[in-house]
Every structure is written in structure tokens, then in C-alpha cells.
């Protein structure tokens, strides 16, 4: 088996620059723990090296673009390269972002040189300019061959030529194995070994006795006897489903009725692979051009009826382009639709979404009822509350459309300094009411910059308009404070130049009811009630 390796140098920097929208020719480095992890060619030309501290690298190159490390970003950016190679030769294996291996497809293209040229051209056409290809009998030799190639070129090691090819390569290439490789290279250099050939010439038994199993495996690699195998990934199945209309349809109801069979087929083929879709992109084409595209998320998973509803809502949605916007009085679209496509954006194992022991008929009835209401008054008009992170009770509430998964919420697992501890209030007023809190002498109770209360709260009352007690606009009488807790100070929006300092108090009145009061820059207000 011959192996082809495709190497894209400095891939972490390439992916980070693309994400940041910076020029790919800028000197840049990816840092981890303030140490240079990867740097590109322009940075190396200025003296920046891997392993340098941030300050030293900036001293060598003041205009150096510093980028954070992000393995997930690197893997996402490398996926199009893998897909491109996979279209030419299935069975691609990702060794790491920027490096992939595949069985050399020489017999498919007449020769290995032509195969390398074909792969190189396809990857370059995909927007990756710096890539090197190596072909050899084993994985290690093929990778080293790729590292000796020029940009957009390749090195082909002839069959049986791995050992002679590796002899002159410096021993430092083993440092790519991580800390274990760097430690081994340091030891071999102290022993006077300078190339892979020097290591391969050592007796195998002596190397294994002195350096262990890892050292023996490295010696075999250096001699062109690499036994490493790579696990090729299986190409993902085609899970898209689409339906074409001939002639094109200009009625929302006709389109909705015509996609029912396709929606059922889409769900069935996912079930065949033991998958369910929790995110689906619905595309509508008019005259061969995608004129409407939207990704829908489901709190559980989509069934055929859910998909049909999404098509109906999307074609009638007010945010659809003017050429497709449905005319509500006639139920028609201005541009005839000739194709509807369902594309799974997020798929999960069906085992994780199995029904309970007694099924989910009641839930389905509720969802169908809500869906009918959405069909009458609009998808965005029916909302459900969800919990998110925040300091105040109102900030912890968010409303999302029914049937849509909540996204871009503030995380709940953050500390949120200044948040009032539980239990949470039962009622949170949409419009907080003005209030007054005084001490024994009748002076307004304040909170200093250091969070110190100027006086102990003794009486309070609620005034002004709002959704709390006395909501008819009249002020409630003064009420003695039976117990109180706080303050919980916060300092928000200081970066915008405003005074965002505030503090919250829990107050229990003489009637036994508890309230959540806020002391802000403009005075006291009533936020919530503990009924």
C-alpha cells in the first residue's frame, strides 16, 4: 500500500488569519500560554520561532499579529480540504488539522505524479495556496517527503526507497511527536546522533533496551519500516432530500401540500441511519436560484409534520425577500418556486431521543395545537420562556418562538457576581415600580461605593405606576420592615461611561410578604415579589 500525505504548513495561523479577516501575508503567530505555538513564513523571516515567549517574539517582529489557539477552529477550517481530497480518493484520514493521509490513487490517474498534480490543483482551486504532497511506502516517509516539497508541489519516493530517502533528514523532525519526541531528540543529540540514518544504523536490541518501546518504534520509522496505520473515515451519507415542481408553483398551500411526501422521506432516511435531525435548513429555489434559505432548530427533533409547518411559515414569513414574500390575501408567492430542499444541519443519535415508556401522545397534541395557533397569528407571535444567565431576575428571562431551540443565551454556569441567591422570586414585574426605603431617622437608605449600607432599613413603601402592589398609580402606605437581607451590589455598564452601580435587597414587610428591591443611581425600585 502506497500512502499519500497532503500537508498544509502553518495551518493554525492560516485558519486564524482567515477567521480574523487579516491578510494571509501578515507576519502572525498562534500563542498558547503566552508561548508561540505556530508561526508563518513572514514571521519566521523576522526571527520569530516556535517556543518563543510572547515578549521575545514581539521584540523580533513588532508588527506580529498575535492569534489565540483554537483546535476546533483549525479542524473546521481544514474540513473543506478533506472534502476536496475525499471527492478524488475516498478513505481520507485526518492526522491533525493541516495534515491528512490517503491511499495513493496512482492507478486511478495513470501515475502517482499525475495523481499528486490532480490533488494539488483541486486543493488550490479550493482556496488553499500553500500545500505540499508526499508519496511513499509508509506514513512517516510520506509525511517527511511532503515536508521536503516546495509549495504547490510534491515529492514521490520510489517503491523500496524509504530508507535511503530518510537517511539524510535531521533528527530534529522527531520533535513533532510532542514532549516525548522532544525529550528523545535531546537525548539522541547528546549521544552524537544528527540524522535519521544515524539512528537507523544502531542495533535494534540495544535501542529497545536503552530507549524502550517508543525508541524502538522511532528507530523502525527512521529505517523506513514504519508500521503505523491510519483509520480512514467513512464518507458521510447523503441525507439531503428535495422535491422539484414542474411547472413551478406560486401558491403557498400547493407547495406545502406537495412537500409532505419529501418531508416523510427525509425523516425516514435519517431513521434508516438511526439519526434524527434537530437542525434543518430549508431552501426554496426560484428559476434555479436559492431565493429563501433558513435554518430551523427544534427543541427535540423534527418529524415530517414539523418540516411541512416550517416550509409554510418560511414562505409566509415577513423576513423573506420581497420577490418571494407571500401575499396574505391570496396565499400566493410572487416568484414561482421550482424546488424545495431539506438539508440536515444538526443530526443526533436516535437513541438519545427515544420516547418515554408511555409514549409522547399528549406532548404531540399540545405541539400540534400550538402549531395551529402559529399558523394563524405567525411563527414569531407564540413565545415560550426559557432561563438564561444573568444577575437580575428580569435579565435571567428570555422568550423564544415555540418550537424553536433557544440559542445565543447567556450561560447559566457562570458565577454572575451580585446575583441574588435562591429561592428565585415568584413574580417578576415587567415594569419595576418606584419605591422608598428609609432608616430610623426617616433618611433615605443608600449604598456606598464600597457596598456599605448608610442605615438599617426600617420602613418602605411603593409608589408610581407599574405591575406590582398599588398598580392603579396610588402609593401604598409606609410598612415596617420585619426582616431584610443584602446588599448584593453590582457594577454594570461601567465601560460605557454610565453609572451602573446598584444593589439589591430582600425585604420582608409586617404583613409577611417578601419583596426584592433595587437601589440604583436614580433611587429605589421594586423588581420582584416572593409570593
Structural domains of the chain, with CATH: 3-156 (3.40.1170.60), 162-222 (1.10.150.20), 241-366 (3.30.1490.100), 427-530 (no CATH)
- What would the pLDDT profile of 384-414 be if each residue is shown by its tens digit? 788 887 777 777 778 887 767 677 788 877 7
- What would the pLDDT profile of 194-204 be if each residue is shown by its tens digit? 999 999 999 98
Q: Look up residue 263 and give its three cell numbers.
A: 418531508
Kindly report whether the global pTM for this prediction surpasses the value 0.85: no
Q: CA–CA separation, 241 vs 261, rounded Å? A: 10
Say if residues 244 and 213 touch (Cβ distance below 8 Å).
no
Say if residues 513 and 530 touch (Cβ distance below 8 Å).
yes
Cβ-Cβ contacts under 8 Å for 390 (sequence gap 6 or more):
396, 410, 416, 419
Q: Is 331 exposed, middle or buried (0-12, 13-18, 19+ CB in 10 A)?
A: middle
Say if residues 145 and 232 touch (Cβ distance below 8 Å).
no
- What would the pLDDT profile of 360-373 be if each residue is shown by its tens digit? 444 555 666 676 67
Residue 225, pLDDT > 80, answer: yes
Say if residues 366 and 345 touch (Cβ distance below 8 Å).
no
Confidence of residue 520 (pLDDT cuts 50, 70, 90): confident
Segment of 85-99, 151-165, 272-286 carrying the highest mean pLDDT? 151-165
Q: CA–CA separation, 56 vs 270, rounded Å? A: 53
Cβ-Cβ contacts under 8 Å for 195 (sequence gap 6 or more):
167, 168, 169, 170, 171
Instruction: Give 503 or 326, the one with higher predicted confidence.
Output: 503
244: three-class secondary structure by DSSP: strand
- Give residue 357's pLDDT: 45
- Give residue 423's pLDDT: 78
Which one, of 486, 485, 478, 479, lies nearest residue 510 by Cα?
Answer: 479
156: three-class secondary structure by DSSP: strand
- What would the pLDDT profile of 418-453 be if each residue is shown by its tens digit? 777 777 787 888 788 888 888 888 888 888 878 788
- Give residue 243's pLDDT: 92
Mean pLDDT within 288-299: 85
Residue 466, pLDDT > 50, answer: no
Question: Which residue shows C-alpha cell 490532480?
Answer: 118
Amino acid at each position: 500500500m502506497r500512502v499519500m500525505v497532503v500537508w498544509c504548513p502553518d495551518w493554525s495561523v492560516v485558519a486564524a488569519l482567515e477567521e480574523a479577516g487579516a491578510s494571509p501575508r501578515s507576519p502572525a503567530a498562534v500563542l498558547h500560554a503566552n508561548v508561540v505555538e505556530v508561526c508563518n513564513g513572514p514571521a519566521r523571516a523576522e526571527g520569530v520561532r516556535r517556543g518563543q515567549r510572547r515578549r521575545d517574539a514581539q521584540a523580533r517582529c513588532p508588527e506580529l499579529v498575535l492569534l489565540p489557539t483554537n483546535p476546533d477552529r483549525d479542524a473546521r477550517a481544514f474540513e473543506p480540504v478533506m472534502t476536496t481530497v475525499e471527492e478524488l480518493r475516498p478513505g481520507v484520514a485526518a492526522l491533525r488539522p493541516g495534515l491528512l493521509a490517503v491511499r495513493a490513487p496512482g492507478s486511478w490517474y495513470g501515475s502517482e505524479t499525475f495523481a499528486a498534480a490532480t490533488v494539488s490543483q483541486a486543493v488550490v482551486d479550493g482556496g488553499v495556496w500553500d500545500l505540499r504532497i508526499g508519496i511513499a511506502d509508509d506514513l512517516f516517509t510520506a509525511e517527511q517527503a511532503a515536508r521536503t516539497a516546495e509549495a504547490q508541489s510534491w515529492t514521490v519516493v520510489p517503491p523500496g526507497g524509504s530508507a535511503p530517502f530518510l537517511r539524510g533528514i535531521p533528527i530534529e523532525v522527531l520533535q513533532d511527536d510532542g514532549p516525548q519526541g522532544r525529550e528523545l531528540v535531546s537525548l539522541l543529540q547528546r549521544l552524537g546522533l544528527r540524522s535519521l540514518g544515524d539512528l537507523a544504523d544502531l542495533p535494534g536490541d540495544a535501542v529497545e533496551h536503552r530507549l524502550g518501546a517508543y525508541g524502538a518504534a522511532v528507530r523502525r520509522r527512521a529505517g523506513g519500516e514504519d508500521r503505523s496505520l491510519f483509520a480512514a473515515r467513512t464518507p458521510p451519507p447523503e441525507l439531503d432530500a428535495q422535491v422539484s415542481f414542474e411547472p413551478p408553483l406560486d401558491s403557498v398551500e400547493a407547495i406545502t401540500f406537495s412537500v409532505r411526501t419529501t418531508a416523510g422521506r427525509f425523516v425516514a432516511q435519517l431513521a434508516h441511519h438511526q439519526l434524527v435531525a434537530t437542525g434543518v435548513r430549508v431552501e426554496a429555489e426560484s428559476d434555479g436560484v436559492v431565493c429563501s434559505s433558513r435554518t430551523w432548530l427544534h427543541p427535540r427533533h423534527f418529524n415530517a409534520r414539523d418540516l411541512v409547518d416550517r416550509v409554510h411559515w418560511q414562505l409566509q414569513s415577513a423576513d423573506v425577500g420581497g420577490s418571494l414574500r407571500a401575499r396574505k390575501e391570496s396565499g400566493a408567492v410572487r416568484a414561482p418556486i421550482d424546488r424545495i430542499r431539506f438539508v440536515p444541519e444538526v443530526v443526533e443519535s436516535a437513541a438519545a431521543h427515544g420516547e418515554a415508556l408511555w409514549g409522547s401522545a399528549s406532548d404531540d397534541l399540545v405541539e400540534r395545537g400550538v402549531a395551529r395557533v402559529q399558523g394563524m397569528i405567525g411563527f414569531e407571535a407564540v413565545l415560550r420562556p426559557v432561563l438564561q444567565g444573568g444577575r437580575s431576575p428580569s435579565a435571567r428571562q428570555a422568550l423564544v418562538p415555540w418550537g424553536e431551540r433557544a440559542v445565543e443565551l447567556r450561560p447559566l454556569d457562570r458565577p454572575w457576581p451580585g446575583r441574588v441567591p435562591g429561592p428565585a422570586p415568584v413574580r417578576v414585574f415587567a415594569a419595576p415600580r418606584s419605591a422608598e426605603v428609609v432608616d430610623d431617622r426617616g433618611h433615605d437608605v443608600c449604598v456606598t461605593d464600597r457596598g456599605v449600607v448608610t442605615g438599617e432599613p426600617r420602613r418602605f413603601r411603593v409608589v408610581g405606576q407599574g405591575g406590582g402592589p398599588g398598580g392603579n398609580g396610588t402609593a401604598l402606605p409606609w410598612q415596617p420592615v420585619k426582616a431584610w437581607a443584602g446588599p448584593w451590589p453590582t457594577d454594570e455598564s461601567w465601560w460605557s461611561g454610565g453609572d451602573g452601580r446598584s444593589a439589591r435587597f430582600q425585604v420582608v414587610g409586617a404583613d409577611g410578604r417578601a419583596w426584592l428591591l433595587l437601589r440604583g443611581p436614580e433611587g429605589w425600585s421594586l423588581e420582584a415579589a416572593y409570593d
